[in-house]
Amino acid sequence: MSLPGKTARRFAWKIIDGSRLVFLSFPRNVQCNICGWKGRHFTSDTWHYQVNCPGCGSGIRQRLFFAALQNIEGLSFDRLIHGRNILHFAPEDIVSSNIRKKAAHYVTADYFRQDCDLKLDMSDMPSVKNESFNIAIAFDVLEHVPDYQKALDEIRRILSPEGVAIFTVPQKDSLPVTYEDPAIITPEDRTKHFGQYDHLRIFGDDFSEIVERKGFSVTAVNESDFTRDIRSKHVLFPPRLSKHPLATNYRKVFFCRKKT
């Protein structure tokens, strides 16, 4: 294609993108409780219909987390974030930027990424002292960790007494028991069985019990913990259930308090 042709095509896409944003902006039916974006509806991805914020990219799990901080007294910003020492694994920018400024000490960690404060294997963290953090956050991380049971032990070790781990995990709808199989190793097979090429398992309804067995008291927050108005305004539940067999339609945020 000639250069003028490419330029014209780029210009046309810009107009289409701009028109789409204007179309999405009115009427203001929904509002992101993280970045404040308001509009007609959120955007869809390949599995889920109208669940992602066009402003910040947040999905239901991040907005559920913020809804808890904003609306549930025992899990508020004041109780969980203000003045706390926080370790955040695989941090999402939009979550990070809202938490960093309120925490006393905020540290990010990842096993692969270079843009975090620490390079950590969640299942083996000898460089992190016992009881050195009040809060550990890991959204959709445990399905990537080979020995996630050991990771739960490590998280418990580095949390202060009464410290809180905050997790989300992909959970297949109506799957009673977490499914993993070490014989499933190719990216294609992992996608087929666990939903993504680098997932090592898909969690089931037993996730709370698994974490409780590790010495935590678990509170699972979902859309039913909020008023209908908050639920629909911030889209804390999919407007339309995904038909994908491995979809997580019923998202939960697990607040896991270390038992002493």
Binding site for Zn ion (CB under 5 A): 32, 34-35, 37, 53, 55-56, 58
Q: Which residue is nearest to Zn ion (CB)?
A: 32
- Looking at the Cβ atoms of 50 and 208, the one nearer to Zn ion is 50
Q: Which residue, 56 or 159, has its beta carbon nearer to Zn ion?
A: 56
111-114 contacts, C-beta under 8 A, 24 or more apart: none
* Shortest spacing between CB 232 and Zn ion, in angstroms: 16
Determine how many CB atoms are found less than 10 A away from the CB of residue 212: 14
CB of residue 42 vs Zn ion: minimum separation in angstroms? 9
Least separation, in Å, of the C-beta of 31 and Zn ion? 9
Q: How far is CA 116 from the centre of its chain?
A: 17
Q: By C-beta, is 97 or 149 nearer to Zn ion? A: 97
Closer residue to Zn ion, CB minimum distance, 34 or 142: 34
The residue (of 66 and 194) whose beta carbon lies closer to Zn ion is 66
Q: How far apart are CA 248 and CA 203, in angstroms?
A: 10
How many whole angstroms from its chain centre is CA 59?
8
Alpha-carbon span 220 to 256, nearest angstrom: 8
CB 90 within 8 A of CB 69: no
Q: What is the 3-state secondary structure (H, E, C) of 41-75?
A: CCECCCCCCCCECCCCCCCHHHHHHHHHHHHCHHH
Radius of gyration (Cα) for the chain, nearest Å? 20
Q: How far is the CB of 187 from Zn ion (least distance, A)?
A: 31
The minimum distance between CB 65 and Zn ion, in angstroms, equals 13
